[in-house]
């Protein structure tokens, strides 16, 4: 072999060895399947409204509604009808009948599934009883509810605690309400069957107490003996569930001192309502009402010496 050929072979061999020593390029990454890339949004349903409170998943669940004549017998008692009509018309509302929604709030907080009020069930005074269907549409089994937090013991808030056979509709849930409200419920002859059925599961608390981690009661006196609103908070995010602090989104907010038939102590309820609306407005809280138009989420703003409800977007 000539020197020239030997040199050529040596160079070629060195190049071949160098090429073999290089690492092969990494394989292209395998794309994640679509379901692993993002959590799908909850399916839309007309009776379920999903939202969040910090890290807590929450939803408003439609139960039905109550319709009362706008004749001064129930809402705005003693107020001339022409005055009530003018207030409603200015807000774009009908003046013949007042519609009060019935809806429950559900919050998933850590390992708790917390329902705020239970709807009206089969109460004769309401077109209601849809909460079980709304829960089903939301993918929530009644057996999974761990706590039911009650604002007060009127039928459109506790009527859904029992099923059609008079048994607890939420078999695994603790029922939490203020001690004065529980005492009043036990003393109400018309509620005797309900009180007896739920007694083993009731956990009463003192007004103003922390009911569950992230859930604190806020006494709003006058409507019933132990009526409570609830502050639901996660970090700096909070929601106020107002119960029956205000019933109608126009009348109760813009005229908080107008009397409603359902208030046990009307002057005290009016004072409490006005003070609570001022606090919501001044502190910028988001609120949810079980009786305002579905889903009842929004805020309160001061307006012309009174207040106005602004629904959430």
Residues 6+ positions from 153 with CB-CB distance below 8 Å: 177, 181, 182, 184, 185, 188, 191, 224
Percent pLDDT > 70 in the chain is 87
Is 6 domain-assigned? no
For 200-212, the pLDDT digits (tens) are 999 999 999 999 9
For residue 194, give both structure tokens: 């309900």
**DSSP secondary structure string, 248-308?**
STTHHHH-TTSEETT-SSHHHHHHHHHHHHHHHHHHT-EEE-SSSSTT-EEEEEEETTEEE
Is 159 domain-assigned? yes
Q: Mean of the pLDDT values across residues 97-123?
A: 97
For 27-44, the pLDDT digits (tens) are 544 444 444 344 456 678
Instruction: Note the pLDDT of residue 5.
Output: 43
Q: Mean of the pLDDT values across residues 7-26?
A: 42
For residue 173, give both structure tokens: 């849930």
How far is Cα 221 from Cα 215, in angstroms, rounded to an integer? 19
- DSSP bridge partners of 204: 177
Q: Assign 3-state DSSP to the chain and report helix, strand, coil percentages, each to 5.
A: 30, 30, 40
Is 37 domain-assigned? no
Tokens 């056979």 belong to residue: 165
Q: Under a CB-based contact definition with an 8 Å cutoff, are residues 270 and 222 in contact?
A: yes
- Asked if pLDDT for residue 18 goes beyond 90, the answer is no
The distance in angstroms from the start CA to the end CA of the chain is: 89
Instruction: Note the pLDDT of residue 43.
Output: 73
Q: Mean of the pLDDT values across residues 276-292?
A: 99
Is 228 domain-assigned? yes
For 42-67, the pLDDT digits (tens) are 678 999 999 999 999 999 999 999 99
CB atoms within 10 A of CB 283: 10
CB atoms within 10 A of CB 70: 20
Q: Under a CB-based contact definition with an 8 Å cutoff, are residues 240 and 285 in contact?
A: yes
For residue 59, give both structure tokens: 């939803």
- DSSP bridge partners of 109: 112
pLDDT grade, residue 6 (50/70/90)? very low
Q: Mean of the pLDDT values across residues 220-246?
A: 98
Q: Please compute Rg for the chain using Cα positions.
A: 29
- Asked if pLDDT for residue 3 goes beyond 60, the answer is no
Percent pLDDT > 90 in the chain is 85
How far is Cα 102 from Cα 289, in angstroms, rounded to an integer? 9
Instruction: Note the pLDDT of residue 40.
Output: 58
For 119-171, the pLDDT digits (tens) are 999 999 999 999 999 999 999 999 999 999 999 999 999 999 999 999 999 99
Q: What is the DSSP letter of 215?
A: E
Q: Residue 134 is part of a domain; what is its CATH number? A: 3.60.15.10
For residue 295, give both structure tokens: 């889903």
Q: How many domains does the chain divide into?
A: 1
This prediction has a pTM of 0.87
Residues in the chain: 313
Instruction: Note the pLDDT of residue 313.
Output: 87
Tokens 């859904």 belong to residue: 160
Structural domain span for residue 182: 44-311
Q: Give the torsion through C-alpha atoms of 156, 146, 189, 122, to 10 deg.
A: 40
Pairing outcome for strands 215-219 and 306-311: unpaired
Is 73 domain-assigned? yes
Please tell me the least confidently modeled range out of 33-47, 180-194, 214-228, 273-287: 33-47
**DSSP secondary structure string, 43-58?**
PPBTTEEEEEETTEEE
Q: Under a CB-based contact definition with an 8 Å cutoff, are residues 152 and 243 in contact?
A: yes
Q: Under a CB-based contact definition with an 8 Å cutoff, are residues 256 and 270 in contact?
A: yes
pLDDT grade, residue 83 (50/70/90)? very high
């Amino acid at each position: 072999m000539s020197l020239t050929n030997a040199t050529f072979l040596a160079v070629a061999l060195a190049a071949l060895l160098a090429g073999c020593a290089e690492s092969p390029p990494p394989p292209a990454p395998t794309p994640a399947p679509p379901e692993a890339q993002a959590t799908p949004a909850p399916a839309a349903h007309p009776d379920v409204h999903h939202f969040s409170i910090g890290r807590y998943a929450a939803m408003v669940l439609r139960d039905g509604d109550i319709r009362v004549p706008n004749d001064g017998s129930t809402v705005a008692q003693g107020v001339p009808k022409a005055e009530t009509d003018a207030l409603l018309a200015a807000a774009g509302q009908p003046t013949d009948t007042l519609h009060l929604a019935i809806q429950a709030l559900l919050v998933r907080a850590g390992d708790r599934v917390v329902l705020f009020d239970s709807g009206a069930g089969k109460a004769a005074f309401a077109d209601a009883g849809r909460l079980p269907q709304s829960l089903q549409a939301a993918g929530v089994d009644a057996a999974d509810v761990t706590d039911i937090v009650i604002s007060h013991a009127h039928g459109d808030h506790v009527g859904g605690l029992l099923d059609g056979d008079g048994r607890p509709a939420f078999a695994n849930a603790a029922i939490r309400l203020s001690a004065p409200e529980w005492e009043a419920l036990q003393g109400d002859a018309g509620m005797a069957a309900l009180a007896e059925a739920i007694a083993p599961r009731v956990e009463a608390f003192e007004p103003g107490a922390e009911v569950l981690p992230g859930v604190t009661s806020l006494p709003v006196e006058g409507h019933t003996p132990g009526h409570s609103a609830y502050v639901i908070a996660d970090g700096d995010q909070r929601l106020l569930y107002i119960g029956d602090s205000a019933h109608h989104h126009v009348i109760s907010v813009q005229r908080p001192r107008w009397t409603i038939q359902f208030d046990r102590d009307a002057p005290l309820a009016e004072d409490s309502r006005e003070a609570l609306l001022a606090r919501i407005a001044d502190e910028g809280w988001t609120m949810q009402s079980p009786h305002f138009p579905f889903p009842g989420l929004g805020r309160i703003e001061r307006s012309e010496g009174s207040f106005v409800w602004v629904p959430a977007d």
